[in-house]
Each structure stands twice: as structure tokens, then as C-alpha cells.
Structure 1
């Protein structure tokens, strides 16, 4: 079994982080729209939630919801994307 070069491994991790970032964006966008339970959009939303929630939960524990009048705004996706972006930039420079 041949071992992959370090550059290839870094590139694979870079791509996975980019895809994960897009999954977080898709989840955030879908959260703006109501979906019918059992429909295709509901299933997609559920899958995105399962894939991204463990990561976003880390930030949700640290950052309270921003209060805008009676509404609490969850900024965990935004903070999670910023952290992912920083990781991607670090990997791109290796």
C-alpha cells in the first residue's frame, strides 16, 4: 500500500473543509424557508442538520444568541464558517 504525499493529504483535507463549509451555508439558507414534513426539502434539511450540528453545537455553547428585539439570532453558523475559512487559509499556505 502506497502512502499519499503530505501535499495530497493536505489538499484532500482542504477540499473536505470547503465542502463542509458549503453544507453549513446550505443549512443556513434552508433554515429561512418553511418545509413540509416528509417532503424532499425536509429530508435534505434533516441530513444537513445531522452533518453540521455537532460542529455548530461547539460554537452555540460558547456564543449566546444575539437578541434583536424579541428574536434570538443564532450566530453559530457564521462563526463556524469563519473558523472553517481560517483553517482553509492555513491549509492553503502549507
Structure 2
């Protein structure tokens, strides 16, 4: 596996961790489980940066949607930079 594939794989894993953490919010007491607490330790620092600037709209918190979009933009930019450094592009 090359560095480009490694970045893509790690980004997908973290994206699914964010997605899973958001899904856990739909189930009562799911975030208090072992998996919920583990995901909270890994994902909440990233999401909290967006929650500071994007307030909830009633009961709907759209900050994870924005956070996932920004995450993929950063990953795409990182892949381009690494591609230029390694010589893929």
C-alpha cells in the first residue's frame, strides 16, 4: 500500500467513526456504552471545534454534517499535496 492509499484508508475509517458517533445519538444511552465512550474520545475533539461556531437549529445539530464535509475537503487537499510531493500528479 502506498502513502496515497494509506491516507485514503485512514480518512475513511475516521469518517465512519464520526458517522457512527452521530448515529449513536439517535439511540437512548448508546453513548454511555463502551463503544460510545471510545468514539467520543476520538471524535468529540474534532466535532467540538465546529459546535463552537455552528449553533443547533432547534433540536437539530448540523455541525457534524459541516465537519464531515470539511474533513473530506482537507483529506482531498492532503492527497493532492502528497501526490505532488511523491510525484503521482
Q: How many residues align?
A: 81
Which has the bigger relative contact order, CA under 8 A and spacing at least 6?
A: 1
* Structure 2 runs not aligned, ≥5 long: 84-89
The structure with the greater share of residues assigned to helix is 2
Distance 2:31 2:18 in 1: 21
Q: 1:65-76 maps to which residues of 2 (within 5 A)?
A: 65-67=56-58, 71=59, 73-76=60-63
Distance 1:66 1:37 in 2: 21
Structure 1's consecutive aligned runs of 4 or more residues displaced over 4 angstroms after TM superposition are none
The yes-or-no answer on 1:85 pairing with 2:72 is: yes
The offset of 1:62, in angstroms, is 1.1
What is the CA RMSD across the aligned residues, in angstroms?
A: 2.5
| 2:55 partner SS | coil
Give the TM-score of the pair, scaled to structure 2: 0.74
Give the TM-score of the pair, scaled to structure 1: 0.71
Distance 2:19 2:8 in 1: 17
Q: Counterpart in 2 of 1:62? A: 53
